[in-house]
């Protein structure tokens, strides 16, 4: 099946940097895209950044220019490099994978357990 493991979260001060990583273990699936979502207290889960199989990236407006998503296709990992972090970035960050079974074109979403990022003085 599909299993995702995130790492790199933790407490940081405003203006500092942090790097999140996600490793995907798959069997019998083709990964279409990988990315990151986040959920702050009292808010719905929102897109942070994604990267598809062609290397095309997309970002949420408030993080564009500060956050950068990259992918290692051979190792099936996706990373999120975060710079100039703000208190508003505080949230649980979730790794997301869109994948389809071999021989099928329909895609499904898979999620990691989440990693906490807390930005405060």
Q: Per residue of the chain (121 residues), what is the pLDDT tens digit?
A: 899 999 999 999 999 999 999 999 989 999 999 999 999 999 999 999 999 989 999 999 999 999 999 999 888 999 999 999 999 999 999 999 999 999 999 999 999 999 999 999 9
Q: Six-digit token pair at 75?
A: 């190792």
Question: CB–CB of 8/19 below 8 Å?
Answer: yes
Q: Which one, of 33, 20, 18, 24, lies nearest residue 5 by Cα?
A: 24
């Amino acid at each position: 099946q599909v299993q995702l493991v995130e790492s790199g979260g933790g407490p940081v001060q405003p203006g500092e940097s942090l790097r999140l990583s996600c490793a995907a273990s798959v069997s019998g699936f083709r990964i279409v895209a990988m990315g990151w979502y986040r959920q702050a207290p009292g808010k719905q889960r929102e897109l942070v950044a994604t990267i598809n199989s062609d290397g095309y990236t997309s970002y949420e407006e408030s993080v564009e220019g500060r956050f950068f998503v990259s992918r290692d296709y051979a190792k099936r990992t996706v990373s999120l490099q975060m710079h100039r972090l703000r208190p508003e970035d505080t949230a649980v960050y979730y790794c997301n994978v869109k994948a389809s079974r071999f021989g099928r074109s329909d895609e499904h979403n898979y999620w990691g357990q989440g990693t906490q990022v807390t930005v405060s003085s």
